[in-house]
Amino acid sequence: VCLGMLEWPDLETIDAGEWEDALGTGKPRGGARWLVYDWDGLNTLSSFCVPQNVRVAREKAWREDQSTLGLPPAPVRVDWATASRFVVKGVMRKALEAVAFCHEAGYAHRSLSPENIVLSSTSQDKSTALQQLTPSLLIVKLNGFGFSTPLADSSPQRLESARLYKVGEGKVGGELNLALSSLSIAEDLYSLGLCFLQLLLGALAEDEVVIKEGGLFSDTIKEKVSVPVVTQQGLERQIEDVFNGDIGQLREYCKQEPAYNKVVAMLDENDLEGWRFLTTMLGARQGVARKLKESEMPGTGMLTARALLASPFISRG
């Protein structure tokens, strides 16, 4: 958008004042290197972790506020009740692909959260995929790599944190690198599992929200939402401290909340297939520790994001 305010063919002759007005920075020197990024829009997984009618209202308000940008009108929406399961699974599938790409490049993210998972679209209007509820148009990218390190990072700080899972004890060289890499992957998968759970409990929640003008972007909206407000930190505390890592107890808790009927029904399909998938992700760190305790190398049959893409819950659609 900012570069569009400048005449691209005349960049070399544009004076410094025009650069300052358009981009808020000085004109680059001759021969300077350029980094050009595709703008991915403003949607993150966090913005999708709320009931559908809240998303629609917020999106409508945003489009009205940004009317001067000349955005095309929002397309006619597909029925959410019909498309929701396929959209949510599409988001999960492409998020797993993004994490798999990161890991296969040799890096751990280390701070995966709904705010760091960007939901974009193949079209010019970067919110089209979510408006049309079309997973085939969806692009998922990771953001917030401030804490990212190589998978086998063996810095003193990393070795200290790995001791919690008995990783690194009595190992050197290749064995140490493999153990650290396995734990790094498991930690990212655990965080992504929490993101998926927040997505399920938010996007698929059934509620009777009454939305009033002025409350779309403030805390007042929470007072009108009949479903519990779910956060990644809250879920982790509940799973680890209240349920002691037992996803079966989480299922029983969700069954008592009418707003989660659709979530429970979806995860219960095919002999609790969805709950088993979440159990695998949320138990990834303990799985690495268990293998080490049993004197197995964690690289044997190591859980990866790529392997999870082949799980029936994700691949079945």
* pLDDT per position as a tens digit, 258-310: 889 999 999 999 999 999 999 999 999 998 888 877 766 655 568 999 999 99
Rounded alpha-carbon distances, angstroms, from residue 252 to 146, 192, 258, 312: 37, 22, 12, 23
Higher pLDDT, 205 or 34: 205
E strand or H helix at 119: strand 117-121
Give me the pLDDT at residue 213, please.
Answer: 43
Least reliable range by pLDDT among 125-129, 147-151, 156-160, 211-215: 211-215
Structure confidence at residue 215 (pLDDT)? 41
What percent of the chain stands above pLDDT 90? 42
Q: Which pLDDT score is estimated for 118? A: 94
* Domain residue ranges in the chain: 1-36, 39-315
Mean pLDDT of the chain: 81
Provide the pLDDT confidence category of residue 91 given band limits of 50, 70 and 90: very high
Token pair, residue 19, equals: 């650069």
Categorize the per-residue pLDDT at 253 as very low, low, confident or very high, splitting at 50, 70 and 90.
very high
* Contacting residues for 255 by C-beta, under 8 A, at least 6 apart: 264
What value, to the nearest 5°, has the Cα angle with vertex 187 and ends 84 and 193? 15
Please list the residues that pair with 150 across neighbouring strands. 107
Helix (H) or strand (E) holding 264: helix 261-282
136 or 317, which is more confident?
A: 136
Identify the pLDDT of residue 26: 75
Look at residue 96 and tell me whether its pLDDT is greater than 80: yes
CATH of domain 39-315: 1.10.510
pLDDT at 311 over 50: yes
Q: How far is 317 from 116, CA to CA, in rounded Å?
A: 24
pLDDT score of 170: 62
Helix, coil or strand: residue 282: helix
This prediction has a pTM of 0.80
What is the reported pLDDT for 69?
A: 59
pLDDT value of residue 43: 86
